[in-house]
Amino acid sequence: MDQIIVQILNGLDKGSAYALIALGLTLIFGTLGVVNFAHGALFMMGAFCAVILSRILSASYKVVDESQTDFLGNPLQVDVFYVQRWFGDAAGATIMDWAVPLAILFSIPVMIGIGFAMERGLIKHFYKRPHADQILVTFGLAIVLQEIIKYFFGANPIQTPAPDAFKGSLDFGVWLGYEANAIMYPYWRLVYFFFSALIIAGVFAFLQFTTFGMVVRAGMADRETVGLLGIDIDKRFTFMFGLAAAVAGVAGVMYAPIVAPNYHMGMDFLVLSFVVVVVGGMGSLPGAVAAGFLLGILESFASMPAVVDVLPGINQIIIYLVAIVILLTRPRGLMGRKGVMED
Amino acid sequence: MSKSNFTRRGVIKTGAVGGAALALPQYLRADGHAGFTNAPGDSEVVLGFNVPQTGPYADEGADELRAYELAVEHLNGGGDGGMLNTFSSKVLDGTGILGREVKYVTGDTQTKSDAARASARSMIEKDGAIMITGGSSSGVAVAVQALCQEAGVIFMAGLTHSNDTTGKDRKANGFRHFFNSYMTGAALAPVLAAQYGTDRKAYHLTADYNWGYTTEEAIVSSTEAMGWETVNTVKTPLTQTDFSSYIAPVLNSGADVLVLNHYGGNMVNSLTNAVQFGLREAQANGKNFEIVVPLYSRLMARGAGENVKGIFGSTNWHWSLQDEGSQAFVRSFGTKYGFPPSQAAHTTYVQTLLYADAVTRAGSFAPCAVAEALEGYEFDGLGNGKTLYRADDHQCFKDVLVVKGKENPTSEFDLLEIVEVTPVDQVMYAPDHPQMGGADASLGECNNGA
């Protein structure tokens, strides 16, 4: 039983990431009708916002320390961090330690800006083109973005740790009456889960309870009529693209301490996120979120040694198997709407 | 009105005669019909450096390429000569190889066997490379080695640690300086037994490909010989980035040691996850829970950051070694590039020098003559102490370094400390060892090509 609880917990944070990416994908598809294959790259760019801010906060200058030598026997050049020089040793160290949470604030304007630039500069030219063209151009864009990141940051993963306050694990099992070490769960993954829940709730609240959100929902339902009412729906949809980029971005920032960012991480999530969107139902925001968590948890279960021993390789195909079964029984996905991508 | 004397037939005749006259010296040139693939001219010789320039091992590949360029510079008489000054063989004099200037071409393996074979084939067929070297993956090394065997050129393997490269997939035209999984097991197990005791239960997470299998087999066999028990071995997909589903069941499995048979990005992520799940602080079976990473590289340790502190593993070479050869190499490399070389850079630099040396001693570029010069060759001064290129399997035998993540690093390069230099006798094995393909494994016939 304890193993099942462990895998449910694992699935929740994996599912959170899938849900956040799929939410953004669905927002873009629902508003602009574009299948955005560059969305995984936006998640990766978000993770690199954490890396970049961490590097900015760790900016330093060299001071020669004659008492020590470097690997060539020359006097050692010691790094002195600017933040420690400006704010004192303790405050400076704390600022550097909290780079990832601070990167959320840094990433939101950056990602909205990237989203705007992508939509206005490239994707808007493809609105009236077939979906295949949109897929090709956004996939190409994803490759360009990841190659840019690789050029500047290299191919190896870059450690971006969570603040010291969140290091270590919660012994969840003790709360439930199990022995110590039975169900361990890292604090940062709990933070990630609650953070995701907050973001998802925020996006839903924004669409549900604001006038702006109401207009966007109206536009998603019938773009032409909203346009005829004199509302500039295109401008609002562009904003939604920026918002979707920011959601993917903050998901990436918070994910950086869980899996060290590398240039390829977006692609790893992209394919799975598309499966999540399709299983959830094209254009359905609640469907995307529900399918994200469902598939995250199933993937975790399929990775249990007991399961893999019986069905080798099941951990790599479970998501696709479930997708096939769901699409055969419910062709529009779990919560798909009639008429979406059916013309 | 002038009349031209040129006729179509005349031009063709003249062209054919002229072309044949121009081609004749090329045909009559010393090695022009020497009976082996890509025999070089009198002035230059081309080497092919086939490294991952894109893909997950691109950083290792970049460091290998730096080392190759440095080796070429030293062979051609540039720079400070590096390890040419400390190498026990003194036949290389900085005038290239057999008086020919060393040129090189590069290819991108992308850490994919098919791409690596395509780029090696292109370097052999289009660029006239007489020797192919490189690789940062055993799958790639085995594939390219087989291609070189067919094509009749020498393959000097770069970073490849799987037993299979000089085990069941050994080839007469292929040579490996880097150590292997068996040697890691043989060197690491006694240190682990001394540090953690002989009553331990190990849980293995293993990358699901060639190198992972041989490393797992080697560590399981050598730790069990020390009295350890293997609780479970779980294969993880090479593309996995989040290992939480694999790490979570470990603490409750009855194991008190986790062995991560992972390399590169896999290792960085699995180790990070293991630390996040509190394995470093945990207690199991009344002992401190421990993590082991059999194959370490400095580039990887840098990626894993603080998480590597105190964790044991093995490595082929480390820049902090104090012997003359290592110091000369670190000085050359560090002065040129501003940071110390990795083990990948070291092995590729050494392989280039060893090839050049073998050609010079053999007095010929013919692959079979070069192979003969390398077989059973003993040398020193290249950073690993006395080393033997064993004739039976073309594997180098030398001391192996057991290292651990440094507790208090003084710089971003100072991440590993050498715990023990395991003497070569302890890591020696019979050429027909079961882990190396048994009695069926054979080098086959050396191939000079066409």
The domain limits of chain B are 44-179+319-397, 182-315
Closest residue to B248, CB basis, from A7, A158, A161: A7
Confidence band for B310, pLDDT divided at 50, 70 and 90: very high
- Say yes or no: domain B182-315 is CATH 3.40.50.2300: yes
How far away is chain A from the Cα of B100, in angstroms, using its nearest Cα? 32
3-class DSSP state for residue B107? strand
Strand runs (DSSP E) across A82-214, as ranges? Answer: 169-171, 184-186
Q: Which two structure tokens, joined as six digits, stand for A62?
A: 């060299």
Residues with Cβ within 8 Å of B94's Cβ and at least 6 positions away in sequence, in order, are B74, B75, B76, B77, B81, B84
What per-residue confidence (pLDDT) applies to B12?
59
Chain A residues close to B258, C-beta within 8 Å: none
User: What is the residue-level pLDDT of chain A in tens, covering all 343 positions?
Assistant: 777 888 888 888 888 988 998 888 888 888 888 888 899 999 999 999 999 999 999 999 988 888 888 888 788 888 889 999 999 989 999 999 999 999 999 999 999 999 999 999 998 888 888 888 988 999 999 999 999 998 899 877 888 989 999 988 888 778 887 877 778 889 999 999 999 999 999 999 998 999 999 998 888 888 888 889 988 888 888 888 999 999 999 999 999 998 889 898 898 888 888 888 889 888 788 898 899 999 989 988 888 878 887 888 888 889 899 999 998 998 888 887 665 555 5
Domains of chain A, by residue range, sit at 2-59+98-329
What per-residue confidence (pLDDT) applies to B168?
94
Closest residue to B304, CB basis, from A3, A14, A159: A159
CA nearest neighbour of A59 among A81, A79, A36: A81
Express each pLDDT in B54-81 by its tens digit: 766 778 899 999 999 999 999 999 999 9
Residue B92, sorted as left (phi over 0), alpha (psi -120 to 50) or beta, turns out to be: beta
Cβ neighbours, 10 Å, residue A265: 26
d(CA B290, CA B305): 18
| B77 touching A (Cβ < 8 Å) | no
| B245 touching A (Cβ < 8 Å) | yes
d(CA B209, CA B206): 8
Q: Assign 3-state DSSP to chain B and report helix, strand, coil percentages, each to 5.
A: 40, 20, 40
CA nearest neighbour of B442 among B181, B168, B157: B168
Give yes or no for residue B25 having a pLDDT over 60.
Answer: no
> Across the strands, what pairs with B387?
B379
Express each pLDDT in B330-369 by its tens digit: 999 999 999 999 999 999 999 999 999 999 999 999 999 9
Q: Which two structure tokens, joined as six digits, stand for B21?
A: 């006259």
Q: Which fold has domain B44-179+319-397?
A: Rossmann fold (3.40.50)
Interface probe, candidates B241, B297, B327, B416, chain A, greatest A C-beta count within 10 A? B241
How far away is chain A from the Cα of B216, in angstroms, using its nearest Cα? 17
Q: Taking CA A292 as the corner, what is the angle to CA A282 and CA A331, rounded to the nearest 5 degrees?
A: 35
> Across the strands, what pairs with B229?
B201
The single-letter DSSP state of residue B49 is E
Interface probe, candidates B252, B306, B413, chain A, greatest A C-beta count within 10 A? B252
CB A251 within 8 A of CB A43: yes
| A10 touching B (Cβ < 8 Å) | yes
Interface contact B269-A259, CB threshold 8 A: yes
Residues with Cβ within 8 Å of A156's Cβ and at least 6 positions away in sequence, in order, are A262, B56, B59, B264, B265, B268, B299, B300, B302, B303
Report CA-CA distances (Å) from A334 to A209, A289, B157.
25, 11, 52
The single-letter DSSP state of residue B309 is B
Strand runs (DSSP E) across B301-362, as ranges? Answer: 312-315
Cβ neighbours, 10 Å, residue A207: 19
CA nearest neighbour of B168 among B444, B447, B387: B444
* A-proximal residues of B, 41-60, CB under 8 Å: 54-59
What per-residue confidence (pLDDT) applies to B154?
97
Give yes or no for residue B397 having a pLDDT over 80.
Answer: yes
CA nearest neighbour of B54 among B133, B136, B132: B136
What is the β-pairing status of strands B287-288 and B283-284? antiparallel
Interface contact A14-B244, CB threshold 8 A: yes
Residue whose pair of structure tokens reads 């010989």 in the numeric block: B225
| A265 touching B (Cβ < 8 Å) | yes
Q: Taking CA A201 as the corner, what is the angle to CA A17 and CA A192, rounded to the nearest 5 degrees?
A: 35
Residue with the larger pLDDT of the pair B119 and B112: B119
d(CA B102, CA B131): 11
Interface contact A156-B302, CB threshold 8 A: yes
Give yes or no for residue B22 having a pLDDT over 60.
Answer: no
DSSP A307-335: HHHHSTTHHHHHHHHHHHHHHHH-TT-SS
ipTM above 0.85, yes or no: no
What per-residue confidence (pLDDT) applies to B1?
42
CATH code of domain A2-59+98-329: 1.10.3470
What per-residue confidence (pLDDT) applies to B446?
95
CA nearest neighbour of A36 among A138, A113, A117, A131: A138
Chain B residues close to A76, C-beta within 8 Å: 410-411
What per-residue confidence (pLDDT) applies to A59?
92
Hey, what amino acid is at A180? A
Closest residue to A260, CB basis, from B245, B268, B411: B268
The radius of gyration of chain A from alpha carbons, rounded to an integer in Å, stands at 22
Q: What is the pTM of this model?
A: 0.84
d(CA B172, CA B149): 7
User: Nearest residue of A to residue B232 by CA position?
Assistant: A305
The separation between CA A263 and the C-alpha centre of its own chain, rounded to angstroms, equals 14
What per-residue confidence (pLDDT) applies to B9?
64
3-class DSSP state for residue B391? coil
Report CA-CA distances (Å) from B332 to A29, A210, B335.
56, 65, 5
φ and ψ at residue B199, rounded to 5 degrees: -100, 80
User: Nearest residue of A to residue B54 by CA position?
Assistant: A155
What per-residue confidence (pLDDT) applies to B16?
58
What per-residue confidence (pLDDT) applies to B24?
42
| A60 touching B (Cβ < 8 Å) | no
3-state secondary structure B128-170: CCCEEEECCCHHHHHHHHHHHHHHCCEEEECCCCCHHHCCCCC
What per-residue confidence (pLDDT) applies to B32?
43
Largest CA distance in chain B: 109
| A196 touching B (Cβ < 8 Å) | no
What per-residue confidence (pLDDT) applies to B2?
46
3-class DSSP state for residue B248? coil
What per-residue confidence (pLDDT) applies to A9?
87
Residues with Cβ within 8 Å of B128's Cβ and at least 6 positions away in sequence, in order, are B38, B40, B46
Residue with the larger pLDDT of the pair B172 and B138: B172
CB B112 within 8 A of CB B55: yes
How far away is chain A from the Cα of B416, in angstroms, using its nearest Cα? 13
In this predicted structure, which of A268-277, B117-126, B195-204, B437-446 has the lowest mean pLDDT?
A268-277
CA nearest neighbour of A240 among A211, A203, A277: A203
Query: Crossing angle, helix A99-121 and helix A233-255, to 10 degrees?
Result: 150
Task: Please provide the average confidence, as pLDDT, over all residues in chain B.
Answer: 90
Interface contact B278-A184, CB threshold 8 A: yes
Interface contact B334-A6, CB threshold 8 A: no
How far away is chain B from the Cα of A256, in angstroms, using its nearest Cα? 11
Give yes or no for residue B33 having a pLDDT over 50.
Answer: no
φ and ψ at residue B100, rounded to 5 degrees: -100, 135
| B244 touching A (Cβ < 8 Å) | yes
Report CA-CA distances (Å) from B376 to B154, B379, B395.
16, 10, 10
What per-residue confidence (pLDDT) applies to B136?
75
φ and ψ at residue B257, rounded to 5 degrees: -140, 135
The radius of gyration of chain B from alpha carbons, rounded to an integer in Å, stands at 24
In this predicted structure, which of B46-50, B154-158, B242-246, B381-385 has the lowest mean pLDDT?
B242-246
CB A299 within 8 A of CB A317: no
Q: Which two structure tokens, joined as six digits, stand for A188?
A: 């940062």
CB A145 within 8 A of CB A38: yes
Confidence band for B27, pLDDT divided at 50, 70 and 90: very low
What per-residue confidence (pLDDT) applies to A310?
86
